[in-house]
Structure 1
Amino acid sequence: SIENAPALEELLPPKGGPNFKYSGADDQEKTEQEQALSAELSNKVKGRQTAREIILWIEETVYPTHGQEITLSVVIQTLLDIGSKSFTHLITVLERYGQVMAKLCSDQDKQVMLISEVGSYWKNNAQMTAITIDRMMGYRLISNLAIVRWVFSPENIEQFHISDRPWEVLRNAVSKTYNRITDLRKEISSLKKSVVSAEEAASNAKADLEAAESKLTLVEGEPVLGENPTKLKHLKSVAEKTKEETVSVHDSLEAKEALFARALDENEVLFLSLYKNFSNVLMERLPDASRDGTLQSLKSVNGDSMAADIEEPSTMEVDDENERPKKSQSNGGKTTNGYNVREKEQWCLSTLGYVKAFSRQYASEIWPHIEKLDAEVFTEDAHPLFRKAVYSGLRRLSNEL
């Protein structure tokens, strides 16, 4: 136990609690002035001041004196700390003071700074980092492009092979974008059915009205064109109502189709950004020797080579009468054939694996944009191993690789 071997405590991972910059702890190198600002903001929130009142306080008091970086850090860290007690507290803070965050982080650069503050505050808790960023995206405080930029920031790139945190955040962002498009498709499909039903109802109502208006009836013994006035009035009302409903459903459909078209454009920009970043970071780290399109040069192998993770498994070869595979050993046997993948190579293998995984998971959304991706990302200048990982994920055949 730790009590019996206190030296082991150093090997334990850090506790999953928050890392509040303005807690006043000895190891937090923040000025008293910044801590005072944080305390003042906390009191304002506890006093239930509105988002508008806090925005005015920031614009008139904090920002002119301390500038963008300190203002953003103090405000975001303090609001995160207030919302750290539970998931409900987090949602409450985002709902009440999301406008404050949106005002401070109105462009993509500042949104990346916002995400960095979240990562700093929850640096010891990957789950809360992912949850908080996901909720912020849900409230449209940050964009998926800002998340991609943060994931591919230098500090995260170095963690690609040893931490799932950046990948979980990225996966959530792409999934949320994918789900929005899926929901819009369902809504459009439903609205199209509603349009057909509304048009049919309007057509029937119009036919009933025309039939009633052309019908001869006797009024006080005299023939009169049209049904009795009460019935005609009702039929006219029904016809007008169904016509209005048809127009309303058509307008809703047009609005959803416009949103869907915009979402597809945003999706294209997202995948372009994602794969450009993948291509760039892999180009910097993959060795030139591996441009032959194999993973052999990424491994330091004694004897047998490993099967490439980004390639599909091949059929085993049989070499003797007992049908033992060439590259196998008997049960209980030992082998001197092993492999030792160095850290840089492990980073490359891990990242290529994620390239393939993302490509396979979101293939249905990637294919509509493949021409643009081919023209701008999957070019001859891209590393062959990067393209191979993408094509493998997409189940795409290529004569080049």
Structure 2
Amino acid sequence: MGTHVIKMPDIGEGIAQVELVEWFVKVGDVIAEDQVVADVMTDKATVEIPSPVSGKVLALGGQPGEVMAVGSELIRIEVEGSGNHVDPPQAKPVEAQAAPTPAPAEVRAESPAVPSQPTPAPSAAAIVPRQANEKPLASPAVRKRALDAGIELRYVHGSGPAGRILHEDLDGFMSKPHTSSGQAPSGYAKRSDSEQVAVIGLRRKIAQRMQDAKRRVAHFSYVEEIDVTALEALRQQLNHKYGDSRGKLTLLPFLVRAMVVALRDFPQINATYDDEAQVITRHGAVHVGIATQGDNGLMVPVLRHAEAGSLWGNASEITRLAHAARSNKASREELSGSTITLTSLGALGGIVSTPVVNTPEVAIVGVNRMVERPVVVDGQIVVRKMMNLSSSFDHRVVDGMDAALFIQAVRGLLEQPACLFVE
């Protein structure tokens, strides 16, 4: 048997160090070739690290949240053959570091081993015997569901990689009767539990970027209401006629189109600002960042060259990018290079919001929810579909008048949607 050492790979773009986000294996696990062993994060994306060999995990090189240099030891694996690593003479064996020294025979005799129990199936109602301080693997969305339902995740069997608890595992647990302390209490029961969540990985990157943006950017916001009655009628008509052949349209591709057309007259808004070099770069290409909420936090995949895309082409690409971001499959290239950002909470959009500029950009357009309400048109009270745009700008680069004129241009295009297609 030999030892194979996987080192932190060079992910490119001159990156010298990355953050270790999550392990999917533990010491003693037997893994297969190409199995993902860890997630690491650069400044732009989460990257999966697969194992190039099959074998048994001997040691892990770091803890989640630790920043590791490219080329440092990530994991050691016991393999058939000679492996790719030989310890120096008299070096302490890796096995001794990865596991505690066995107790003497007479001590072990006083505490006989408990026979191992078979792992219950994911849908079984059996309680998983974890230690009280053992934190099972689960996504933030699963943890929130369990917290809302009053379920302690340490009692739930995980069927995912490395015992990760999935939504299906939680569904199976909740559908079965339980007699242990894993039983969900009443929603009004007195609680004294708490949970500490380490700010690592994507959550750390989001926190750093938001803090940096608020510290460096001179934010100001501008809110305008828009009558989207005609636009919504056009959208529904196009979906009825072309939805089956070209795909369904949401409001987002129309908003992107309006931004593209309006930006022709406001190049100072489709810009990035290097405040250290004191240089503003105005971009001809419109690369629209689409703010996307996933289980792990906010990501901004980029719709490239929106100025050249058709309504359906941009719609299809927005859908693809959103799926890639939510499934943690978006590449670094798909998460970088935006020149202006569009953010929407859909039906949860509220009345007004104050979005944070996605630096080094200088503008972000926020979409609030569409509602029907009475408005006055030509002296008559009528019911119209209304929607607010809540947008923020970097006042160091964008003057208030220019921001207002830009949003008014977007408003005019959306209220008279035929103008979106007039060249």
Q: Same fold (TM over 0.5)?
A: no
Give the alignment's TM-score, normalised by structure 1.
0.26
Give the alignment's TM-score, normalised by structure 2.
0.25
RCO greater where, 1 or 2, for CA within 8 Å and sep 6 or more? 2
Structure (1 or 2) with the larger CA radius of gyration? 1
Which protein has the bigger strand share?
A: 2
Which protein has the bigger helix share?
A: 1
